[in-house]
Amino acid sequence: MNKNQFANSTEFNAAVKSSTLASFGGSGYSVEFFPNGNHRVLWDNQIGNLYVSEGEIRSIPYLTEGQMDGVDEENYAIEDAIEFYIDELRELFLED
């Protein structure tokens, strides 16, 4: 899977949700793409400062505070916000 395929997958949406939830505590999520086509999503604390990848590591975007306005457990779920902003989130992810 390459970064374009990942950005258009349901796995991307799930990773954005994880990254958004982690951002509340000052962390995030990234995806590591290996030369053989495999990939894995990692919590940024798993990567650390000294981690050297054989492939490419891309940060997964998260919803900003403004984008989270109106999200609550009863009426407007985080998944709805992700779907609303998905094009913007994909664009952020695919930027070089």
pTM above 0.85, yes or no: yes
- pLDDT above 90: percentage of residues in the chain: 72
Residue 79: is its pLDDT beyond 80?
Answer: yes
- Write down the H helix ranges in the chain: 3-7, 10-23, 44-47, 78-84, 86-94
Look at residue 93 and give its three-state secondary structure: helix
Q: Using pLDDT thresholds of 50, 70 and 90, give the confidence band for residue 55.
A: very high
The DSSP bridge partners found for residue 76 are 72
Average pLDDT over residues 58-64: 96
pLDDT for res 50:
74
pLDDT at position 48 is 74
